[in-house]
Amino acid sequence: MSNRLICAGLLGAILSVSAVLPSASAAEQPPLKLIVGASPGGTTDRVARGIAQEMSSILRQTVVVENRPGAGGNIAADAVARSAKDGNTLLVSFTSFTVNASLYKKLPFDPEKDFTPISILAEVPSVLVARKDFPASDVASLIQMAKKEPGKYTFAIGGVGSSLHMATASFEMDAGIKGLSVPYKGTSPALQDLVGGQVDLMFASAVNVMPFYGTDRIKFLGVTSPGPMKQFPSAAPIGDTVKGFTSKAWFGMFGPAGMSKERVDQLNRAVVEGAKRESFVKLIEPEGGTVVTNTPEEFAEFVRDDIKRYAKIVKFTGVTAD
């Protein structure tokens, strides 16, 4: 074999290998960190870890998830607001990001000015459930009862300022009723008391109440999605009774303010592509959720509108946090 053929063969092999290996510049990139303002194991954490896996292969960059729970997500948000503007430290947040703008008397950051929206990731509706011996079996009957005796029926709140708290308040506002809110430190203890009959009603995430569907341990009165949820076919949308009512928790990604447009666009493309992948879709579906993505501009507008919407609901609750 001639030296020319040997060189040609070696060159072909080198090109073949380089096509599947990260480039030197990609391999030298620092890791991309996703900071989550919630504890490991929850929905926000699962969403973050799911999209991290997809983004890592798309960007050919190591992506790690760091949990910094506390203060309704504000600790994590503040860390990202103060981070370098290179786009290697990002926030995976949730509905409380826009709720906190009016819930907290003072925040260490401005939720609009101090962040760069990347994209929303998913939306998850909730389910209105009642104790097993609750007199009403549908939303219309519940509203009728609540209007006759304002303040009599208790709503368990699985976290003050949470999306489920806001769903409860929004339902009361739109239905023209007033219940008695009973706050808990988490959905699990709230649901436990509902099953035990200590409280009357609560809005809960699909994944928490799914094990009870088809049993006689609790009643399923309605869902907060615009249409029926396949997980709970007997529970009609609350909007069928309370016209226009919907409520969804959302999850999204932010960077600090001042990031370059090129980096923002790159991250947005990675999120949009990653969220379409079957593995990520399958991660969201058990929650009763839907994968949703948008442009940075659309997400920024969504955040502005959501802050205004929740300001009215927080005012209705009369709740504030320090």
pLDDT of 26-54, one tens digit each?
456 899 999 999 989 888 999 999 999 99
Cα gap 275→50, rounded to integer Å: 9
pLDDT digits (tens, 9 = 90+) for 201-251: 999 999 899 999 999 999 999 999 999 999 999 999 999 999 999 999 999
Task: Provide the CATH number for the domain around residue 198.
Answer: 3.40.190.10
Residues 204 and 288 in one domain: no
Final residue before a domain boundary, out of 240, 259, 294: 240
Q: Helix, strand, or coil here: 243?
A: coil
- Tell me, yes or no, whether 164 and 207 share the same domain: yes
* pLDDT in the model for residue 286: 81
Mean pLDDT score across all residues of the chain: 91
Over the stretch 270-294, which tens digit does the pLDDT of each residue have? 999 999 999 999 999 888 899 999 9
Query: How many residues does the structure list for the chain?
Result: 322
Distances (CA, A) of 204 to 28, 59, 79, 107, 304: 44, 36, 29, 27, 26
Domain encompassing residue 161: 125-240
Q: Rounded CA gap, 47 and 121, in Å?
A: 8
pLDDT of res. 76? 97
Give a yes or no: residue 12 inside a domain: no
pLDDT tens track for 191-201:
999 999 999 99
Return the biggest CA–CA distance within the chain: 97
pLDDT of residue 29: 80
Between 1 and 145, name the one with better pLDDT: 145
Q: Could you tell me if residue 229 is inside a domain?
A: yes
**Is 130 in the same domain as 116?**
no
How high is the pLDDT of residue 27? 52
- Residues 119 and 260 occupy one common structural domain: yes
Q: How confident is the model at residue 171 (pLDDT cuts 50, 70, 90)?
A: very high
Q: Average pLDDT of 71-82?
A: 96
> Is residue 280 within 8 Å of residue 50, measured between CB atoms?
yes
| CATH at 67 | 3.40.190.150
Among 101-110, 181-190, 210-219, which stretch is predicted with the lowest mean pLDDT?
A: 181-190
- What integer pLDDT is reported at residue 52 of this predicted model? 98
Residue 207 inside a domain? The answer is yes
Torsion from C-alpha of 115, 119, 121, 125, nearest 10 degrees = 80
Asked if 109 and 151 sit in the same domain, the reply is no
Residue 53 domain flag: yes
* Cα angle value 52/56/58 (rounded, 5°): 120
Residue 2 pLDDT > 50: no
119 and 136 in a single domain? The answer is no
- Average pLDDT of the residues in 298-315: 97
Q: At which of 240, 262, 284 does a domain end? A: 240
CB 179 within 8 A of CB 155: yes
Residues 236 and 130 in one domain: yes
**Residue 81 pLDDT:** 98
- 304 pLDDT more than 70: yes
Q: CA angle, corner 317, sides to 315 and 322, nearest 5?
A: 75
Confirm whether 13 is domain-assigned.
no
Q: What percent of the chain has pLDDT over 90?
A: 83
Whether residues 300 and 280 share a domain: the answer is yes
Examine the pLDDT at 16 and tell me if it is beyond 60: no
Same domain, 67 and 173: no
Is the model's pLDDT at 97 over the cut of 60?
yes
Whether 17 is covered by a domain: the verdict is: no
With a cut of 90, say whether residue 11 has pLDDT above it: no
In the chain, how many domains are there? 2
Q: How confident is the model at residue 136 (pLDDT cuts 50, 70, 90)?
A: very high
> Is 309 found in the same domain as 165?
no
Q: Which amino acid, one-letter code, is at 134?
A: F
pTM of structure: 0.86
- Out of 191, 209, 240, pick the residue that ends a domain: 240
Residue 3 lies in a domain: no
Residue 11 inside a domain? The answer is no
Which pLDDT value is given to residue 21?
37
User: Is residue 259 over pLDDT 80?
Assistant: yes
236 and 253, same domain (yes or no): no
Residues 137 and 228 placed together within one structural domain of the fold: yes
Give me the pLDDT at residue 28, please.
67
What is the rounded average pLDDT of the residues 162-186? 95
